[in-house]
Structure 1
Amino acid sequence: MDTKDEAKEELKQDSPENENMKYAAHKKIIRIIVIAIGFLVAFLSLLVATSISWMFRTWTGLTMNELMFHIQSPLQGTDNGIIISYIVSCVLVSIGVILLVGIIYKIVKKKKGLILLTSAVISVAVAGTSINYMWSRLDITAYASNKSTYSTFIDDNYVDPKSVSITFPEQKRNLIYIYLESMENTYADKNHGGAFEKNVIPELTALSNKNENFSGDHETLNGGVSLNGTGWTVAAMFAQSSGLPLLIPIEGNSMNEQDTFLPGLTTIGDILKDAGYSQSLVLGSDANFGGRKLFYTQHGTYDIYDYYYSKDQGQIPEDYHVFWGYEDIKLFEFAKQHLLEVSASEEPFNMTILTVDTHFEDGYVCEDCQETFGDDQYANVMACSSKRVAEFVNWIQEQDFYENTTIVISGDHPTMDSDFCEDVENSYERKVYTTYINSAADTKSDAYRQYTTFDNFPTTLASLGAEIEGNRLGLGTNLFSSEATLLEKYDKNTIETELDKKSKLMDKLTEDIVVAEPEEDLTAEADTEDDSPEQPEITSAEIEVTSYDFRTGKYEIFVRNLPVDSNVQALRCAVWAEEDQSDLKWYEAELQPDGSYVAKVWAADFAFKVSEYNIHIYSLDTEGEPHLLAESIGEITR
């Protein structure tokens, strides 16, 4: 191409027509982006709104504590039905609405922008209304406030088993403790204290009324109330064994990732071990899940007979796996074998059994399940469990060791099934199924007792004939005594509110829990003022701020390598985000065994505001005077 042709080409490229084409192309790209953003905003807003609606339909009596549990819990074990329900009710509905808007947008010739804008605005408004409703119904403001506030309720009411005398009879009784997954009194008919028209658990109802459930002379079902920190399996087993809620700074089922399980705590397993009991845990799932194996081996040295034990011993085929492991029909057969073996020994035994077929969602239909309740699968599974447990108890009562054996049967927690109890009136108080069989103790009153699952801890020991000084252990009360329970002293809502708050006792018991490894080293050299005679020499101190952990709602500040002769009596951390320091919070750093200090900064203290936070660390000398030791930055992220 010669010079003349090149000049023509340049003129052509710079021509008004070409510029108009470029402008039109850019305008089209921008228009496509705006349309895409509009549809995306509308879709996400609809997804938020439908998700909130689905959430309250699925869990009719949802509380903020339960919501946090469901959000943090792994999907493992979750029935496909609940996942499909969410996809159909939320994802597909939102997609369907957006497709309908898209079709209308495509068909109309005029005011397309108005249609898209209107759809986006309406969707955002609906989402905003839904969020406001959720915020109000769950009282999230109060929840966040409680999580950042200390209460002395647990500290004041807790009775340390180490501080009281527990005396066993000369001939110690055996204990069989059966946890029934998701079993409530609710499933019985109204005439027997349940909430259903037809009794789903007739055998269990008869068993409870025939034995002891602390209903006094009312001849009706009674059971423990499941409070905050007791509403999932490992937390329920922990609460009934220790008299405390499982309030930990990590997700409730993540204790299997820890090296210890509250080693400073004394549980029923510790007490029975010291009394010479052989102990075992029998369950048809993986004992590691939720830290159950860790808890029972560290607190009582239990032998663990779980799903993997049965595979290793050839009790089930190597490739066998249904529901959570193996079903309850096998569980009770294996438990019989273990009972016959352990009862042959001269030492007393404690066997804990955990069922699984009645786990939400809808349970597991085994080969023995009958369609007594038609297509209501969960009711059929509950009815099957009721019959099977009663048959197992009958078998125990036929054995030679029964005469000197107490049986405790308790639901672990109220069911989390999405719709099984949706017709139960809000005024009905749902309690876990409870009965004590062949107890060595008698009740002191004919009154209908109000109690929680915490009370199972001392009551179980008393049912073995043990005498407990003061009749209280943990937060629990011996129900065979006339001592008042917490639920008989305080309103349930008061107890729930106080349990929601932070506790120095629980902080102490959970101090060994490792939340997360620091993801990056934000070490900064201490900024000391050497020319000040009042400032201690701490030039080698190292400051480290961990990344924010959204699961626990906090980040941590570590101060290490303080010289031994630095005369530091304490460390305090000032944390704030606002320029005027209007949100300033002070945190006392706790001295660790290795000489370092750690302070925990809770996002709830700052209303979970996403921001960078200034951190000033002050040392207090022997006179109590503060000196600026170092400065750093922390961050709360989404």
Structure 2
Amino acid sequence: MLDRMFSATRRVGVVVGWILVHVLIGIGLALLLAAAIIQFFWGEISVNQMLLNIVAVETDGGGGPIVWVSILGIGVAPLLITVGLALWLYFRRRKVRHSGGSIQPRRPPWIMRTVSTVLVAAVVIGGSTAFAATVGVGDYLDAVNSDYEVGDFYVEPTVTRDANRRNLVLIYLESGEGTLADDELFEKDAFAPLKAVTPAADGWQTVEDLQQYEGGGWTMSGITSTQCGIPLKGIGSSSGGGAYNALGGNVQTYLDGATCLGDVLGQHGYTSVFLGGANASFAAKDVFLDNHGYAEVKDLSYWRTLGEPATAFRSDWGLSDERLLAHARDEVDELHATAERTGQPFNLSLLTLDSHEPVHIYDYCEVDTRNEVTSAFFCSMTQVAGFVEHMEQQGYLEDTAVVIMGDHLKQIGGGHAFQDELEDHGNRTIFNRIWVPGGDGDADLRPGVDQLSMYPTILEAAGLTLSGREAGLGVSAFAPEAPPGSAQAMDPSHYAELVTSLSPEFYAEAWSGEDAAAQ
């Protein structure tokens, strides 16, 4: 009896061990392939970027081919390989048993077991290590252990005066890195068309050396940092609600506890409209905008209902910048006419698309560079420049502030252009131009600020007076210096730790919809 029980237990143990080994192989392969795919399409990213982009994945107008490659490469391929390996080993052993064990191994069993163990360990450890390095797990663990809390420095934006409020046009340039203006490093200045219509001699200003905040680097991080004044993160707040209640599903809220640009403008009578060529559901951009004061969000589905021809769309993302900016001209005409009639200002926010890699070359774009990405950037900036010229010709710049800036630095993953030129560059910055009517913004802009300070800067450009000139963690670039005690007055190394800290208390409240400042 005991022998039978021992034998049965041993067989169960062998089966469980066999299953566990193959599960580990599958996990190792999935992590290894995930690291390879992420490196190719995005380069090194953060844990926050990974999770906050998969809260609402879209195969239509959200980088569809990339999504499918990720699903097949990370989900399907490891499963098929693991199952195939298991079946091969099963039938091989079955063949040996049916042959009466007459097939003699070419090597001693202990060697085969050792080699197998080493190979399994290599797959598991290699996959885990590669994935951890690619998504910055080490940085995330440092953030977990940080003593800094964003809530200790967060400043709720307080408008003390809005008598000088003015219309606002906010344009985000996809991957709009200012470094691409260096015509000695690249084939030509990608921003030349936009520079031509925004000269300093006419009153346009620039935040010199505008920095991407530490830990940023993707579209939603660029939008939320410049509109809310806080780093985009949410790890540790999963129990609080919002996007973390629906990874990959139906996201209901997005940073409801934070007071962002659209919220403040809405409190002061603004009508906010967003135009973008891609599917706004990707990464829950539409939820963020809807939660924070935007009355209309016009995206891929909207442009399709207007009957735009198929040639106006790129299959992976959406509407071309040529057509987007054409609609933007109509939109700003309508919004400006309504503002003049009602006395209520507007905020028109745009996000370009043509410069998102892999680039798509439309018929209106002439490729005159060896690397077509340079031409694609140039063509996109040409479309934006045409929109700025339209506003100037219509006289809108007399009562409308304009803020133009990149949403983040250009990504330089293995499959992206300019990796050699940018990887070791000493000062990668974000392109920007600011227009304030009537010379109200003639004061020099404080150089070297990061994206978090663009939030109060935009509010001041719109003519609103801010208490302390602060909002979120940012201090307006129109302020000559950061006030003592503010996040921006911290030692740079301490500020970097604050910005990258997990800050679970602050973000739990920000995501749950509670007032994040009331801690």
TM norm structure 2: 0.73
User: Structure 1 unaligned runs (5+)?
Assistant: 1-29, 216-221, 514-638
Q: What corresponds to 2:218 in structure 1?
A: 232
Q: 1:165 aligns to what SS in structure 2?
A: strand
Match of 1:307 among 293, 300, 303: 300
Check whether the contact 2:56–2:283 (CA below 8 A) recurs between aligned residues.
no
**Letter of the 2:218 counterpart:** W
- Structure having the higher helix fraction is 2
Residue 233 of structure 1: CA displacement? 2.6
Q: What corresponds to 2:503 in structure 1?
A: 502
CA pair 108-368 structure 1, distance change in 2 beyond 3 A: farther
With 470-479 and 30-39 compared, the bigger mean Cα shift is at 30-39
1:371 aligns with 2:361: no
Residue 266 of structure 1: CA displacement? 2.7
Match of 1:199 among 189, 197, 206: 189
- Structure having the higher strand fraction is 1
Percentage identity across aligned positions?
23
Check whether the contact 1:238–1:246 (CA below 8 A) recurs between aligned residues.
yes
Check whether the contact 1:226–1:413 (CA below 8 A) recurs between aligned residues.
no
Residue 336 of structure 1: CA displacement? 0.9
Q: What corresponds to 1:557 in structure 2?
A: none
Check whether the contact 1:148–1:502 (CA below 8 A) recurs between aligned residues.
no
Task: Determine the C-alpha separation between the residues in 2 that align with 1:311 and 1:133.
Answer: 41
Task: Determine the C-alpha separation between the residues in 2 that align with 1:159 and 1:255.
Answer: 32
Residue 160 of structure 1: CA displacement? 0.9
Q: What corresponds to 1:165 in structure 2?
A: 160
Q: What corresponds to 1:442 in structure 2?
A: 441
Residue 50 of structure 1: CA displacement? 6.0
Check whether the contact 1:323–1:364 (CA below 8 A) recurs between aligned residues.
no
1:335 aligns with 2:328: yes
Q: What corresponds to 1:78 in structure 2?
A: 63
Q: What corresponds to 1:277 in structure 2?
A: 270
Check whether the contact 2:55–2:249 (CA below 8 A) recurs between aligned residues.
no
Task: Determine the C-alpha separation between the residues in 2 that align with 1:48 and 1:235.
Answer: 24
The one of the two structures with greater contact order (alpha-carbon pairs below 8 A, sep at least 6) is 2
Check whether the contact 1:328–1:356 (CA below 8 A) recurs between aligned residues.
yes
Q: 2:172 aligns to what SS in structure 1?
A: strand
Task: Determine the C-alpha separation between the residues in 2 that align with 1:505 and 1:44.
Answer: 33
Q: How do 1:505-516 and structure 2 match up within 5 A?
A: 505-512=506-513
What number of residue pairs does the alignment pair up? 467
Residue 409 of structure 1: CA displacement? 0.8
Q: Give the root-mean-square deviation of aligned CA atoms.
A: 4.5
Task: Determine the C-alpha separation between the residues in 2 that align with 1:410 and 1:421.
Answer: 20
Check whether the contact 1:182–1:415 (CA below 8 A) recurs between aligned residues.
yes
**CA displacement 1:215-265 (0-9 Å, x = unmatched):** 2xxxxxx3232333x543334222212212233335589698344444443
Residue 459 of structure 1: CA displacement? 0.9
CA pair 82-490 structure 1, distance change in 2 beyond 3 A: farther
CA pair 132-324 structure 1, distance change in 2 beyond 3 A: closer
Residue 48 of structure 1: CA displacement? 4.9
Q: What corresponds to 1:26 in structure 2?
A: none
Task: Determine the C-alpha separation between the residues in 2 that align with 1:502 and 1:461.
Answer: 26
Q: What corresponds to 2:419 in structure 1?
A: 422
TM norm structure 1: 0.61
1:147 aligns with 2:134: no
CA pair 33-476 structure 1, distance change in 2 beyond 3 A: closer
**CA displacement 1:70-107 (0-9 Å, x = unmatched):** 67663632353686599799969x979x89x99xx999
**Letter of the 1:74 counterpart:** V
CA pair 38-287 structure 1, distance change in 2 beyond 3 A: closer
CA pair 238-137 structure 1, distance change in 2 beyond 3 A: closer
| Bigger Rg, which one | 1
Residue 474 of structure 1: CA displacement? 1.4
**CA displacement 1:327-376 (0-9 Å, x = unmatched):** 221111111111112222323222111222223x41332221222233x4
Task: Determine the C-alpha separation between the residues in 1 that align with 2:104 and 2:129.
Answer: 34
Q: What corresponds to 2:7 in structure 1?
A: none
Task: Determine the C-alpha separation between the residues in 1 that align with 2:288 and 2:452.
Answer: 17
Task: Determine the C-alpha separation between the residues in 1 that align with 2:490 and 2:14.
Answer: 66
**CA displacement 1:174-208 (0-9 Å, x = unmatched):** 211111222211322266xxx64643333245556
Residue 464 of structure 1: CA displacement? 2.9
Match of 1:390 among 379, 385, 391: 385
CA pair 377-66 structure 1, distance change in 2 beyond 3 A: farther
CA pair 208-143 structure 1, distance change in 2 beyond 3 A: farther
Q: 2:337 aligns to what SS in structure 1?
A: coil
Check whether the contact 1:450–1:488 (CA below 8 A) recurs between aligned residues.
no
User: Structure 2 unaligned runs (5+)?
Assistant: 1-12, 96-102, 515-519
Task: Determine the C-alpha separation between the residues in 1 that align with 2:52 and 2:396.
Answer: 41
Check whether the contact 1:256–1:290 (CA below 8 A) recurs between aligned residues.
no
Q: What corresponds to 1:462 in structure 2?
A: 460
